[in-house]
Structure 1
Amino acid sequence: MSRPRITLFDLDHTLLPIDSDYSWGEFTQRIGWTDRVEFKRRNDEFYAHYVAGTLDVHDYVRFAVEAMRVRGQAAYEEAHRRFMHEWITPALRPAALDLVRGHQQQGDTVAIVTATNEMVTRPIAAIFGVPELIAVELERDAGGWITGEIAGVPSMREGKVVRVQQWLAGRGLDWLDVETTFYSDSMNDLPLLEQVDHPVATNPDARLRTLALERGWRILDLFERE
């Protein structure tokens, strides 16, 4: 009997041509939530560390969610609706939407696995029609609002493998029980790419493209990276 098929997608630069986390930071500057000069300097610095694979995700998440933490749930929800309309919807590409739907129509269980936090990404996953989201989960206070800290294992680098394994275990499954595919653009995702049955280097950065060619992995260019 064939194993159930699980298809996993990274989000930023894989299904989207932009980085949603970085873009959310840019958006908060434009609506006056953050200092244009200092926030941009630090946001750029954190992003450079992410690309280099040296990001301290805990420090970054504290920085990235501070503006919404201070302003509260209602302000976040209103701002995020604008963000979706002004930044995310224009960035959607038919090829990416069709790829996700194609796997769903084939009967695959589809999940998005991202190093971006849940507050930014859950509405984006919904646009792709993917209810299963494995993202950086945020700690909540007694009132149910975010504290700025990460809850559990952050879904970054090796943490993506851990979080997917936990997700599978919640379904009564292990890696050997399923046939897995993972689409990603980044060398940061090498641990999960090496874990799955079918790694797909998608809109890959230069280092991942070189590695994929060396290993004979499938390379898929859905769109140009922005």
Structure 2
Amino acid sequence: MTPTAPTLALFDLDHTLLPLDSDYAWGQFTTRIGWTDPVDFARRNDEFFAHYQAGTLDVHDYVRFAIDAVRRQGPEAAQAAHARFMREVIAPNLLPPARALIEQHRAAGDELVIVTATNEFVTRPIAQALGVAELVAVELERDASGWYTGEIRGTPSFREGKVARLEQWLAQRGWGWDDVHTTFYSDSTNDLPLLEKVHTPVATNPGAGLRAIAQARGWRILDLFPDHA
């Protein structure tokens, strides 16, 4: 790494920059607006969320489930629903500590990148609302009409996939890991592969598992939302 190496500030999204899980919250929202069966969807959503927290999630199965209602409703209805989701659910949870952290890195001249295991449909408007142009999210396959099929395109940005997708992102800019200085903020042990790869890992609003690992390894611990713990 050269003395003038670019500095990257990498952020997980759910429970890191947000005090909630946007994917889970979107699922709850689709039930509230009548797109999904309340009992069956809640049961399956809770099961997938438990697998995510346990590190046993099949991300392909989950994305098929998570995007199904969007796929069936079509582009116009989906866009309108997401705009309402942003107003009613996300905007009240774009909290000052997270905005301040982003602006601290922006002021320092760092390149800002959100790296999330949540799909691009849910997260791109959230990244835009946070003023972060670079988003590495689960990309969705599209059919001949340009609409979602329910499958994932390429490598999902989940667990080890976050490292692979960041390597692709760096390569597109002519960089390798040794050409940049990286800081990564995350709450989850699912992100250990990337936390272990970067120069400066920051356990942010960490769950008990990650907090214990961070303490043992001497990583910085940042609690952005103590009132939401």
The answer to whether TM tops 0.5 is yes
In the alignment, does 2:1 pair up with 1:3? no
Query: Distance between the aligned counterparts of 1:17 and 1:168, measured in 2?
Result: 28
SS, match of residue 41 in structure 1: helix
> Gapped runs of 5+ residues in structure 1?
none
Query: Distance between the aligned counterparts of 2:60 and 2:138, measured in 1?
Result: 10
Instruction: Determine the structure 2 residue equivalent to 1:68.
Output: 70
Q: 1:110-169 deviations in whole A, cap 9, x for unaligned?
A: 100000000000000001100100000000001100000000000000000000000000
Query: Distance between the aligned counterparts of 1:146 and 1:4, measured in 2?
Result: 35
Alignment RMSD (CA, Å): 0.7
Instruction: Determine the structure 2 residue equivalent to 1:176.
Output: 178
Instruction: Determine the structure 2 residue equivalent to 1:137.
Output: 139
Letter in 2 for 1:135: A
Instruction: Determine the structure 1 residue equivalent to 2:42.
Output: 40
Query: Distance between the aligned counterparts of 1:105 and 1:161, measured in 2?
Result: 26
Matches of residues 47-62 of structure 1 in structure 2 within 5 Å? 47-62=49-64
Deviating 4+ runs (over 3 angstroms): none
Matches of residues 105-184 of structure 1 in structure 2 within 5 Å? 105-184=107-186
SS, match of residue 100 in structure 2: helix
Query: Distance between the aligned counterparts of 1:216 and 1:66, measured in 2?
Result: 42
Q: Normalising by structure 1, report the TM-score.
A: 0.99
Which residue of the other structure, out of 3, 14, 17, is the alignment partner of 1:15?
17
Q: Normalising by structure 2, report the TM-score.
A: 0.98
Q: What percentage of residue pairs aligned between the two structures are identical?
A: 67
In the alignment, does 2:217 pair up with 1:215? yes
Deviation at 1:2, TM superposition (A): 2.8
Q: 1:155-207 deviations in whole A, cap 9, x for unaligned?
A: 00000000000000000000000000000000000000000000000000000
Instruction: Determine the structure 2 residue equivalent to 1:204.
Output: 206
Which residue of the other structure, out of 84, 99, 105, is the alignment partner of 1:82?
84
> Gapped runs of 5+ residues in structure 2?
none
